[in-house]
């Protein structure tokens, strides 16, 4: 299993999920950078993601939708706020309308990704920051922790393939 730990911290209003991969940080970075690879793992298997826009640069926007088991769509969007390839990515992630405009409920989340040498190749920690304890609980009740764990579990299959970037 890719995920080695998951920690919800109600005092810091964070959820941190750490994974290890048998690939160097530069290769793990590519699963974030390349929209085709990102679409293959960002959503859990029962809610796969499709990125329709992916401007992977500071102030860049990404739009996606996840398709549910009944064919329904849940839209989301990112705004990248910091990039330091191949080790650090920070972005705001929010539920969105079909045009990629952020919705206010639930509130947007700040996500920090750290990719370092470690374990068999790389250690990646995805830390989500919430605006309040109620926000953390609301998103947890929606299954975010389980969904992100399942999504991250799909990365090993991508890393076994030749990089497309």
Q: Which pLDDT belongs to residue 163?
A: 67
Q: Does 165 map to a domain?
A: no
Tokens of 137: 């609980």
Domain range for 151 is 3-126+138-159
Q: Does 116 map to a domain?
A: yes
Tally of domains in the chain: 1
Q: Residues 40-69: pLDDT tens digits?
A: 999 999 999 999 999 999 999 999 999 999
Query: Across-strand partners of 129?
Result: 14, 110
Measured distance CA(52)–CA(41) in Å, rounded: 15
pLDDT band of 2, cuts 50, 70, 90: confident
Q: Does 111 map to a domain?
A: yes
Q: Give yes or no for residue 28 having a pLDDT over 90.
A: yes
Q: Residues 123-149: pLDDT tens digits?
A: 999 999 999 999 999 999 988 899 999
Tokens of 115: 């990719």
Q: Give yes or no for residue 165 having a pLDDT over 80.
A: no
Q: Which of 96, 107, 86 is nearest to 61 (CA)?
A: 96
Q: Does 164 map to a domain?
A: no
Q: Does 35 map to a domain?
A: yes
Contact 90, 112 (CB under 8 A): yes
CATH code for the domain in which residue 51 is found = 3.30.530.20
Q: Which pLDDT belongs to residue 1?
A: 47
Measured distance CA(76)–CA(79) in Å, rounded: 11
Distances from the Cα of 117 to the Cα of 10, 25, 31, 120, 161, angstroms: 28, 6, 16, 9, 20
In the sheet that holds 121-129, the strands lie side by side as 3-9, 14-21, 121-129, 109-118, 88-95, 73-84, 61-67, 49-54
Q: Which pLDDT belongs to residue 162?
A: 77
Q: Does 133 map to a domain?
A: no
Q: Residues 68-127: pLDDT tens digits?
A: 999 999 999 999 999 999 999 999 999 999 999 999 988 999 999 999 997 679 999 999
Q: Which pLDDT belongs to residue 49?
A: 96
Q: Does 147 map to a domain?
A: yes
Q: Which pLDDT belongs to residue 119?
A: 64
How many residues belong to the chain?
165
CA 154 from centre of chain? 12
Q: Does 104 map to a domain?
A: yes
């Amino acid at each position: 299993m890719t995920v080695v730990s998951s920690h919800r911290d109600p005092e810091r209003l964070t959820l941190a999920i750490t994974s290890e991969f048998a690939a160097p940080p530069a290769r793990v970075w590519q699963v974030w950078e390349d929209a085709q690879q990102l679409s293959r793992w960002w959503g859990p298997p029962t809610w796969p993601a499709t990125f329709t826009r992916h401007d992977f640069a500071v102030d860049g926007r990404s739009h996606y939708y996840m398709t549910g088991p009944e064919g329904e769509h849940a839209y989301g969007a990112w705004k990248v706020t910091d990039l330091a390839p191949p080790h650090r990515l920070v972005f705001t992630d929010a539920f969105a309308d079909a045009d990629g405009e952020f919705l206010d409920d639930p509130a947007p989340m700040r996500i920090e990704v750290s990719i370092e040498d470690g374990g068999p190749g790389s250690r990646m920690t995805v830390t989500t920051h919430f605006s309040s304890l109620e926000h953390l609980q609301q998103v947890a009740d929606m299954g975010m922790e389980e969904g992100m764990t399942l999504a991250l579990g799909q990365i090993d299959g991508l890393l076994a393939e030749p990089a497309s970037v």
